[in-house]
């Protein structure tokens, strides 16, 4: 059984349909799940509870990762995160006439008075 990870030069990594960003999420999730499993086992929790937790958590991780990959695509999750960093609207606290008229700066007033 042979798995191909990359499909060409200059293309992003893809493994079993998962794009680059989701590969990192998947690998990090499995690594953290393994660490939690080991900590639970070393703490003396029943072996079958640890195994059940590991299997259920791994299934949720696999399903969630493939769901995000299918829904948002290669760059969609980054765009969703970027959208959260932008304000919905810009608040302008000036009154309406203050928006229309322009105030002169002090340099312009100084130059027009003939003191240049």
* Predicted confidence (pLDDT) per residue in 53-86, tens digit: 999 999 999 888 888 877 777 777 777 777 767 7
Q: What are the beta bridge partners of residue 18?
A: 15
- pLDDT score at 112: 63
Task: Supply the pTM of this predicted model.
Answer: 0.55
Task: Please name the residues in contact with 73: beta carbons below 8 A apart, sequence gap of 6 or more.
Answer: 19
Are 22 and 69 a contacting pair, CB within 8 Å? yes
Show the tokens assigned to 6: 């990359």
User: Which tens digits make up the pLDDT trace of 14-64?
Assistant: 666 666 777 888 889 999 999 999 999 999 999 999 999 999 999 999 888
Q: Indicate if the pLDDT at residue 10 is higher than 80.
A: no
Q: Reduce the DSSP state of residue 88 to 3 states and report it.
A: coil
d(CA 25, CA 65): 7
Give, in order, the Cα–Cα distances in Å from 10 to each of 6, 7, 13, 25, 39: 9, 9, 9, 22, 40
Q: If we measure between CA atoms, which residue out of 67, 78, 75 comes closest to residue 12?
A: 75
* DSSP 8-class letter at 3: -
d(CA 49, CA 22): 28
């Amino acid at each position: 059984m042979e798995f191909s990870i990359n499909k060409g030069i200059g293309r992003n990594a893809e493994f079993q349909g998962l794009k680059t960003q989701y590969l990192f999420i998947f690998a990090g999730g499995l690594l953290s799940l393994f660490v939690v499993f080991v900590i639970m086992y070393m703490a003396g929790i029943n072996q079958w509870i640890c195994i059940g937790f590991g299997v259920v958590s791994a299934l949720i991780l696999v399903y969630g990762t493939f769901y995000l990959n299918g829904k948002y695509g290669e760059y969609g999750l980054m765009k969703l995160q970027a959208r959260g960093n932008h304000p919905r609207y810009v608040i302008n606290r000036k009154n309406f006439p203050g928006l229309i008229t322009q105030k002169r700066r002090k340099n312009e007033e100084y130059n027009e008075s003939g003191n240049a």
